[in-house]
Amino acid sequence: MVHALGEIRRVLVPRGILIDLRPVLDRWPVEVVSAREARETGRLQDFSTGIADDEAANSAVARASENAWFSRDQEEFFPFDYSWDTPSEMEEWIADEWNDFLGMEETTKQATRSAWALGDADTRVRVRAKMLITKWRVRGASQS
Amino acid sequence: MTLQKDPARNESKYLHRFADFTSRRVLEIGCGEGRLTWQYAQNTLSTVGIDTDRDALRVATVDKPSDLQTRVQLACADSQNLPFPKETFDLALLAWSL
């Protein structure tokens, strides 16, 4: 990852901008949502592999910063929602797409199914992923 | 499947808050199927999207909006060895790929 950041610096002009946009694990909340309300029914489990990936990315940008390749201009977190019509669709997606780095406890599944079943006709389920966006600026002359 | 991703369009809002793409030469690393690319490329001078996933790039090639045909180029490339000369781009976007 550090090498990739060095490559990016190489192809950017002096004072060029790098935007790093990525999800970060933080036991993302599971919610049942209707026009009336949003209710949290549990949180996803972060697996060690996912946490290690986040740590590796953080370490790489820290190295790039220490090497004076980039300076951090701006940073913020924001929510990125995944929303499904039904709990079963959500469970299927999580098992198929996210099983390498996070999971869902049975108690959360049950709580979500129950809350959804008791909800209004427009009730959906969602996972609120946490996103990190950082703006970096190239420092000094670029490498050849 | 009825999945909706980011219905509030927060990603696009924050991206445009953090970066002005107007008349910039942009490199997007990890463009995938172009979901994010189509949201900012219109105002760029040029955009190059790279990914190592050839299947995703095929989808992006098919889905590329007609008004972006000449402005956006897609390529299979790895961020560890970028096939571009020094100082080619004004702005790089690491899209879910670090």
Choose among B7, B19, B82: nearest Cβ to A7. Answer: B82
CB within 8 Å of B78: residues ≥ 6 apart:
B50, B52
Q: Do A79 and B79 touch (CB under 8 A)?
A: no
- State mean pLDDT over B45-67: 96
Q: How many residues does chain B have?
A: 98
CB-CB under 8 Å, B7 with A22: no
CATH number of B57's domain? 3.40.50.150
The pLDDT score that the predictor gives to residue B21 is 97
Please say whether the beta carbons of B91 and B19 come within 8 A. Answer: yes
Query: What is residue B35's DSSP assignment?
Result: T
Tell me: pLDDT of A92 over 60. yes
Contact A3 B80 (CB under 8 A): yes
Which of B9, B17, B18 to probe the A interface (max A CBs under 10 A)?
A: B18
Q: Is residue B72 a part of any domain in this protein?
A: yes
Scanning every residue of chain A, which has its alpha carbon at the shortest distance from the alpha carbon of B97? A22
* ipTM given for this complex: 0.94
Q: Is A82 inside a domain boundary?
A: yes
Q: What percent of chain A shows pLDDT beyond 70? A: 97
Which range of residues forms the domain containing residue A32? 2-138
pLDDT tens for A55-78 read 999 999 988 888 889 999 999 999
Distance of CA A108 to the CA centre of its chain: 20
Q: How many domains does chain A have?
A: 1
* pLDDT value of position A142: 47
Check: pTM over 0.80? Answer yes or no. Answer: yes
B87 lies in some domain? yes
Tell me the pLDDT band of A144, cut-offs 50, 70 and 90.
very low
Residue numbers in A near B4 (CB within 8 A): 81-84
Domain that holds residue B77: 20-94
State the best of B26, B35, B40, B98 to mutate against chain A, taking most chain A CBs within 10 Å: B98
Taking CB atoms within 8 Å and a gap of at least 24, the contacts of B29-32 are B29/A4, B29/A8, B29/B79, B29/B92, B29/B93, B29/B94, B29/B95, B29/B97, B30/B79, B30/B94, B30/B95, B30/B96, B30/B97, B31/B56, B31/B57, B31/B60, B31/B74, B31/B95, B32/B56, B32/B60, B32/B95, B32/B96
